[in-house]
Amino acid sequence: MSAGDSNSGPLAGLRIVDVTSVISGPGAMGILADQGADVIKIEPPTGDIMRHRGDDPDFTPGFVACNRGKRSIVLDLKKPEAAPILWRLIEQADVFAQNFRPGVIERLGFDAEAALQRNPRLVYLSISGVGKSGPYADKRVYDPVVQALSGMADIQADPETARPKMIRTLVADKTTAIYAAQAVTAALLARGRTGKGQHVEISMLDTMVSYIWPEAMAPFTKIGREDHAAKSTAHDMIFPTADGYITLGAVSDKEWKALCLAVDRPELIDDPRFLTAGLRNKNRQERMETIEAALGDHGTADILTALEAGDVPCAPVLTRWEMLSDPQVLANDLVHEIDQPGLGPVRQARGAAHFNATPVAPIPTAPALGEHTDMVLEELGFDADEIAAFRAGGIAGKS
């Protein structure tokens, strides 16, 4: 299925104009495209930067994952002649999304105030790195900058050296995409009640501070009772066995008892350091070291069997390649193969949500640069001569 072919899913009938690039914005609008929205991706003549971060011209796995199901048009927004095209798109859109650095969209003339004047029902989404004002607002921001500023790198610090570490995936970008997609649907729900659109603003920094708060900021939540000595990191929950690695968790007393029996350490059940969930949390490092030592005598398959028999949450630690053939992943029908023009056969993970009454379409492909320029311009009411003039002037078309 090619981009733009879907007319199913809970968001079918919604039109989104997407001028975002890289990961956070495209990922957010990609979630909505997966759920049936008609997402028109506006790219500069050079294309989204993510198209070119690989060996294949114009397509990379990251670009495909964030932009499948969208329609691509090329529009040079630096040229004033492009303004009527974008305004016509905005006037007919339900959602407009941008993640330029603060001040750029205003200089281009498509700020939220102007857009909402033309289309009062519009949900206008602005994604930024750290916010639109403040001492860092003009910084160029990528995921590692936000991991550093938010405390996320501190959470990952090495227990021995206290050296901060980054999570080795674009957690700030992708989490912001999820938060932004949810915020857009919330604004659309509000519009359904009031008939009015609004400006939704979200930053990667705000997202990640909110994201880490429930447990990572617990030592700093009680005002006047902050625990500055609290370690910034806890055990990574990976335990070596005699022939591999597993993860496990035992929170309740029942789970703790079953864990102690599974690792042949029944005396730990009545150990005064671990008698209650509170004590086990207080003496977390000692508890983890004790369990890790006990697990080292057991093979992965045997200890997982014993833990599962006691209803202790546990799993083998899979490589990414092993994950693809894991029986639960297969049972969930999670990973699909599609033929992506420009790349060939590729794997894609389907959208995470199932919709009983409004099922989504099969996973579509990502668009080539400017693949839908003429189609979209025709839908907007431009005639063949006008489209030819746009192309001749380098205003619209393929690069």
146 vs 128: CA distance, rounded Å: 11
Average pLDDT over residues 331-355: 97
One of 3.40.50.10490, 3.40.50.620, 3.40.50.2000, 3.30.1540.10 is the CATH number of 239-316, namely 3.30.1540.10
Lowest-confidence segment of 59-68, 101-110, 233-242 by average pLDDT: 233-242
Whether 15-212+329-392 shares its CATH topology with 239-316 is answered no
Spell out the alpha helix ranges (H) of 151-295. Answer: 152-155, 171-194, 204-216, 253-262, 277-282, 284-295
The pTM (predicted TM-score) of the whole model is 0.93
CB contact at 8 A, 83 and 380? no
pLDDT at 153: 95
276 vs 136: CA distance, rounded Å: 45
Closest by alpha carbon to 125, among 66, 55, 50, 39? 39
Side by side, the strands of the sheet bearing 245-248 are: 239-240, 245-248, 314-316
pLDDT at 3: 54
Span 208-266, pLDDT tens digits: 999 999 989 999 999 999 988 776 545 778 999 999 999 999 999 999 999 999 999 99
239 vs 292: CA distance, rounded Å: 6
Domain parsing of the chain, residue ranges: 15-212+329-392, 239-316
pLDDT at 232: 58
Residue 386 reports pLDDT greater than 70: yes
The fraction of the chain above a pLDDT of 70, given in percent, is 97
Q: Residue 54: which pLDDT band, with cuts at 50, 70 and 90? A: confident
Lowest-confidence segment of 3-17, 65-79, 267-281 by average pLDDT: 3-17
Span 106-146, pLDDT tens digits: 999 999 999 999 999 999 999 999 999 999 999 999 999 99
CB contact at 8 A, 188 and 123? yes
Query: What are the structure tokens assigned to 281, written together?
Result: 């949390």
pLDDT at 158: 86
230 vs 359: CA distance, rounded Å: 47
SS3 315: strand
- Using CB atoms within 10 A of its CB, is residue 390 exposed (0-12), middle (13-18) or buried (19+)? buried
Span 296-326, pLDDT tens digits: 989 999 999 999 999 999 999 999 999 999 9
CATH topology classification for 15-212+329-392:
Rossmann fold (3.40.50)
SS3 142: coil
Q: Residue 347: which pLDDT band, with cuts at 50, 70 and 90? A: very high
pLDDT at 7: 67
Antiparallel, parallel or unpaired: β 335-340 and 344-349: antiparallel
Question: Which residue's entry shows tokens 């090329």?
Answer: 74
